[in-house]
């Protein structure tokens, strides 16, 4: 289990590199240069090659076509991607920018276009300087045909993705996916594989030294520090919390208060950054989904359909959260030196539904879908989820009573709700 959580921290670090747009193009450029020199190996192998009657001019022509066209296509792809990023930030919310940038299909397309350009330049230079013998030229010709085919297939797939990239529906689907992945990890790994937070003793507080959001907590590192010093740690701040110098990150349960400890190891276990990220912060994903719905409900956009789509995504996310954990996926607590508070389902419902209920209170179709969604979650969930769904359904109904003026509309909302809590004040 210890190695698993070490891999979890490694996953966090790798994901930060994967979010960078330059990583894959750089790797593809390196592979392209190596591919040219792989062809040279054929000249030194003691193997009888069936050498086709290959014209050097035809190979040079292919490489020249590739070198002249791939840079143009790469430039075009960058411009199209930037337009899609701007569209996603404008139509949805700026918080989805990192998700759109991390789109694998777009990054793969850009990487292959740039890589094929580098391949053609290096190969063309080598061929014109008579770097290859006949076997090497044959291998290089095969590689060139392969690169051409790869570029064509990539371009077709990328155009299909580009038609959807940056659209509200596609953005909602991407946010839903990352929120679901984050929630499933948290569901399968309760308390981040630490111990339940049951100790109420007042310990020595460890405070933050910088301003930002907690992006990741390395529980493994905290456990090893606590084990080394024979202490227990109680987490106070969790991923997604905003901290500043003086904000309490954790409490260290010290028996002898006169003894001094170096708490730098505890502070170093908290990864603090300028922005919130989705990996270990499912509530951030819920907030982003809620922001998309609120923006769609604004008078300037007036797109209740997108808000309804978000409500459907939220129901699927919470339905996954409420599912029992499979035996093969369940992770038993192993870091008993670190006590971690449980996720508050009420806070998650506040992040997900409050702004939608507020901004959509006067939109009949949105309110009806929201009431049906909360009723469904009330039937699916455990007791805390039932209570949260009931509370938000009641609040949504009260907001609708203030916003809807037509008695028939209000009655339709009441019929959709399973919680009949408000008086029919508009009927008299």
Stated pTM of the model: 0.79
pLDDT tens for 116-140 read: 888 888 888 888 888 888 778 888 8
Which pairing describes strands 335-340 and 194-196: parallel, antiparallel, or unpaired? parallel
Tell me the per-residue pLDDT of 367-384, one tens digit each, with 9 for 90 and over.
999 999 999 999 886 888
Extract long-range pairs of 200-203: CB within 8 Å, 24+ residues apart.
201/253, 202/251, 203/232, 203/234, 203/251, 203/252, 203/253, 203/254
pLDDT, one tens digit per residue, over 259-293 is 677 888 899 899 999 989 888 888 999 999 999 99
Distances in whole angstroms, Cα of residue 129 to Cα of each of 36, 84, 124, 133, 155 = 13, 42, 9, 11, 31
Mean per-residue pLDDT for 78-102? 75
Give the helix ranges, DSSP H, for 133-241.
134-162, 168-188, 219-229
What is the β-pairing status of strands 242-243 and 270-273?
unpaired
* Rounded mean pLDDT, 221-232: 89
Structure-token pair, residue 29: 């450029």
Chain-centre distance for alpha carbon 41: 42
Q: What is the pLDDT of residues 146-180, one digit of tens each?
A: 988 888 888 888 887 777 776 888 889 889 999 99
Please classify residue 255 by burial: count the beta carbons closer than 10 Å to its beta carbon, then call 0-12 exposed, 13-18 middle and 19+ buried: exposed
Q: Are 101 and 19 in contact (CB under 8 A)?
A: yes
Section 48-77 average pLDDT: 77
**Residue 135, by phi and psi: left (phi above 0), alpha (psi -120 to 50) or beta?**
alpha
Confidence of residue 305 (pLDDT cuts 50, 70, 90): very high
The answer to whether 87 and 166 have CB atoms below 8 angstroms apart is yes
Token couple for 339:
């006590």
What are 158's strand-pairing partners?
none
CATH class of the structural domain 192-273: alpha beta
Q: Model confidence at 63, in pLDDT bands (50, 70, 90)?
A: confident
Cβ partners under 8 Å of residue 384, min gap 6: 345, 346
Q: Which pLDDT score, from 0 to 100, does residue 130 have?
A: 81
Q: What is the mean pLDDT of the chain?
A: 83
Tokens of 370: 């929201």
Instruction: Locate the domains of the chain by residue range.
Output: 2-166, 192-273, 282-326+343-416
Instruction: Tell me how crowded residue 424 is: count the other CB atoms within 10 A of its CB.
Output: 12
């Amino acid at each position: 289990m210890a190695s698993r959580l070490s891999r979890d921290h490694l996953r966090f670090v790798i994901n930060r590199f994967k979010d960078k747009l330059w990583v894959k193009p750089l790797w593809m450029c390196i592979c392209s240069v190596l591919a040219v020199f792989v062809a040279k190996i054929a000249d030194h192998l003691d193997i009888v090659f069936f050498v086709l009657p290959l014209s050097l001019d035809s190979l040079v022509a292919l490489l020249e076509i590739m070198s002249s066209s791939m840079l143009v296509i790469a430039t075009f792809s960058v411009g199209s991607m930037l337009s899609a990023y701007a569209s996603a930030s404008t139509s949805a919310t700026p918080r989805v920018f990192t998700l759109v940038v991390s789109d694998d299909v777009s990054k793969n397309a850009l990487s292959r276009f740039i890589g094929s350009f580098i391949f053609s330049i290096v190969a063309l230079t080598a061929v014109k300087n008579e770097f290859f013998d006949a076997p090497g030229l044959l291998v290089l010709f095969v590689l060139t045909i392969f690169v051409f085919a790869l570029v064509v297939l990539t371009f077709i797939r990328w155009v299909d993705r580009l038609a959807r990239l940056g659209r509200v529906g596609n953005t909602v689907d991407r946010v839903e996916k990352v929120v679901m992945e984050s929630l499933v990890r948290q569901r399968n790994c309760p308390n981040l594989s630490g111990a339940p937070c049951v100790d109420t003793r007042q310990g020595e507080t460890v405070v933050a030294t910088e301003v930002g959001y907690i992006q990741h907590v390395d529980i493994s590192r905290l456990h090893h520090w606590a084990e080394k010093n024979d202490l227990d740690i109680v987490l106070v701040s969790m991923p997604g919390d905003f901290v500043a110098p003086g904000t309490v990150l954790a409490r260290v349960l010290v028996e002898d208060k006169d003894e001094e400890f170096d708490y730098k190891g505890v502070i170093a276990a908290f990864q603090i950054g300028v922005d919130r990220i989705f990996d270990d912060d499912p509530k951030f994903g819920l907030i982003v989904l809620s922001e998309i719905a609120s923006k769609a409900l604004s008078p300037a956009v007036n797109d209740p359909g997108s808000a309804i789509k978000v409500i459907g995504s939220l129901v699927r996310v919470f339905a996954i959260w409420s599912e029992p954990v499979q035996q093969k996926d369940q992770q038993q607590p192993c870091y008993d030196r670190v006590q971690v508070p449980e996720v508050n389902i009420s806070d998650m419902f506040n992040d997900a539904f409050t702004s939608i209920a507020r901004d959509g209170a006067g939109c009949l179709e949105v309110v009806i879908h929201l009431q049906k969604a909360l009723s469904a979650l009330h039937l699916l969930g455990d007791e805390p989820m039932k209570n949260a769904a009931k509370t938000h359904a009641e609040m949504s109904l009260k907001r609708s009573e203030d916003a809807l003026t037509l008695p028939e509309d209000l009655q339709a909302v009441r019929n959709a709700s399973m919680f009949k809590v408000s008086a029919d004040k508009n009927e008299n």
